[in-house]
Amino acid sequence: MNAPRGTYDVLPTETSKWQYIEGKIRDWCNRYQFQEIRTPIFEYTQLFQRGVGDTTDIVQKEMYTFTIHEDSLTLRPEGTASTVRAVIKHKLYAQPQPLKLYYMGPMFRYERPQAGRNRQFTQFGLEVLGTEHPSIDAEVIVFAYQLFSDLGLKNLKLDINSVGCPKCRKDHKEKMMQSLSLIRQDLCKDCDTRFEKNPLRILDCKNETCKELTKDAPMLINHLCEDCNDHYSKVKTYLQALQIPFNENPRLVRGLDYYTQTAFEIMEDSIGAMSTICGGGRYNGLVEQLGGPATPGIGFAIGLERLLLAMEAQKVEIPTMNHTDVYAVSLGQDADVICSQWVFELRNKGLSIEKDYLSRSMKAQLKAADRLKAKHVIIVGETELETRVAIIRNMETSEQQSIPFEKVVDYILGGIQ
Ligand code: HAM
């Protein structure tokens, strides 16, 4: 039976790639002093309606919502709203600031599946709460950069913009509506809806006609209030100081309603069409909007499927995480029992061991050891059982040693260290 459209299985040959990436992510979180938060996979629907925004594509068309015993619940389409809800619920805002949190796990959006776009996908996200300092905006962006370059990714493009605050947005909204009122009827259906509810999002429309029609529309970046302007230019100063190349994109608005000031996306083009692997920005009003005290926030999320696709497209070598220290080859039940004792002991000492469970021929067992690239093979055939001396073969050098049974464990441990 097929898995549902837009979902996929990660088979054992692929999981080690995921583990490698996840390991790197946790390592970088540690270096930057981010702590992990785990929230439920589903939340009350209201959280996303209020947090992500009623007019967004996510809330309008992409949520997996179900009702159970009169509760309307939704599989989380993203992690920011849930993180902020948990921060408010557990009063984490009362702890020393800034809070630096991260999460990694499945998200759900009912989108049209294609390469790098799934209905169940995995995000790694960061959220920093409790500071408006522009250096943290830059740090969040730089985090993604350092992680990507550590993973061996090249040719990334960073777009940044400022989407201002409610004050500058109010003035800009009027200007936008004035400027677009004459061409409204030529805009796409989605933009027509956005016109009333959130005209800023029209700038972000991917439809070529809308792009062309709005090329002279007033860009918010040119109408920022003094505070937002100052904040934006300081963020750029930090990025320049850290030599992070960026492109200022006045059309970058992002598809979630909570953003204020800094908005950014990191793209990579080898998956096909320029694909966004990381998107984020500041959200200074969200905590308050969800019922907490006024607390500024900023974060990003990286789509791990897209990250992996980009690494594969760029032919980045991903080291395999699986290894086999020892393979135990035995012939017959008595030899197998003895091998089982060594296997038990060596696993207790932390080694990774495989043995035969199919009573196969010695040749077949050695082949299996080869396939697993085992470093050492212990061999106990009939002669070895009689003389109580095992053969230990170093598979890298092909050297063989005869080792008395009682010394096998120590010999292996000495050889591996
Ligand atoms: P977003 O731009 O909606 O932002 O998603 C972030 C990333 O998740 C995207 O750049 C992409 O890599 C990945 N992604 C999104 N949808 C899909 C999909 N259907 N299939 C595969 N990958 C996907 C957010 O979710 C915000 N919560 C980010 C954030 C955190 N902003 C502030 N803090």
Q: Are residues 306 and 335 in the same domain?
A: no
C-alpha 278 to ligand 1 mean position (Å): 7
End of a domain among 271, 290, 313?
313
Q: Is 232 flagged in the annotation as binding?
A: no
**Closest residue CA from atom 14 of ligand 1:** 303
C-alpha 302 to ligand 1 mean position (Å): 6
Across the range 123-146, mean pLDDT stands at 98
Instruction: Give domain status of residue 172, yes or no.
Output: no
Q: Are residues 290 and 340 in the same domain?
A: no
Q: Are residues 304 and 368 in the same domain?
A: no
Q: Are residues 49 and 121 in the same domain?
A: yes
End of a domain among 249, 282, 313?
313
> 409 or 176, which is more confident?
409
According to the model, what pLDDT value does residue 273 have?
59
Across the range 55-75, mean pLDDT stands at 95
Instruction: Give domain status of residue 174, yes or no.
Output: no
Q: What is the CA radius of gyration of the chain?
A: 28
According to the model, what pLDDT value does residue 70 have?
94
End of a domain among 313, 340, 358?
313
Task: Write the CA distances from 17 to 14, 21, 104, 330, integer angstroms.
Answer: 6, 6, 15, 32
pLDDT at 76 over 70: yes
According to the model, what pLDDT value does residue 271 have?
66
The set of protein residues with a Cβ atom below 6 angstroms from ligand 1 is 78-80, 109, 111, 116-118, 121, 123, 125, 127, 255-256, 276-281, 299-301, 303, 305-306
Instruction: Give domain status of residue 349, yes or no.
Output: yes
Instruction: Give domain status of residue 382, yes or no.
Output: yes
Q: Is 79 flagged in the annotation as binding?
A: yes
C-alpha 416 to ligand 1 mean position (Å): 43
Q: Are residues 119 and 256 in the same domain?
A: yes
Is 0.75 topped by the overall pTM? yes
Q: Are residues 82 and 157 in the same domain?
A: yes
In this prediction, what percent of the chain has a pLDDT beyond 90? 83
Q: Is 64 flagged in the annotation as binding?
A: no
According to the model, what pLDDT value does residue 137 have?
98
CATH number, domain of 25, equals 3.30.930.10
Instruction: Give domain status of residue 20, yes or no.
Output: yes
Instruction: Give domain status of residue 125, yes or no.
Output: yes
Q: Are residues 257 and 389 in the same domain?
A: no
Of the candidates 299, 367, 401, 175, the one whose C-alpha atom is nearest the C-alpha of residue 412 is: 401
| 416 band by pLDDT with thresholds 50, 70 and 90 | low
**Closest residue CA from atom 2 of ligand 1:** 279
According to the model, what pLDDT value does residue 272 have?
61
Q: Read off the pLDDT of residues 254-291 as tens digits, 9 standing for 90 and up.
A: 989 999 999 999 999 876 656 899 999 999 999 999 99
Average pLDDT, the chain: 95
According to the model, what pLDDT value does residue 292 have?
97
Alpha carbons 3 and 11: distance in angstroms, whole number: 13
Q: Read off the pLDDT of residues 210-260 as tens digits, 9 standing for 90 and up.
A: 989 898 899 999 999 999 999 999 999 999 999 999 999 999 999 899 999
CATH number, domain of 348, equals 3.40.50.800
Q: Are residues 298 and 344 in the same domain?
A: no
Q: Is 32 flagged in the annotation as binding?
A: no
Q: Read off the pLDDT of residues 307-331 as tens digits, 9 standing for 90 and up.
A: 999 999 999 999 887 889 999 999 9
Q: Are residues 308 and 362 in the same domain?
A: no
Q: Are residues 239 and 93 in the same domain?
A: yes
Please give the tally of structural domains in the chain: 2
Q: Are residues 240 and 355 in the same domain?
A: no
Q: Is 103 flagged in the annotation as binding?
A: no
Q: Read off the pLDDT of residues 26-59 as tens digits, 9 standing for 90 and up.
A: 999 999 999 999 999 999 999 999 999 988 899 9
C-alpha 397 to ligand 1 mean position (Å): 48
Instruction: Give domain status of residue 195, yes or no.
Output: no
Instruction: Give domain status of residue 39, yes or no.
Output: yes
**Closest residue CA from atom 20 of ligand 1:** 117
| Full residue range of the structural domain in which residue 98 is found | 12-165+225-313
C-alpha 123 to ligand 1 mean position (Å): 7
Q: Are residues 399 and 279 in the same domain?
A: no
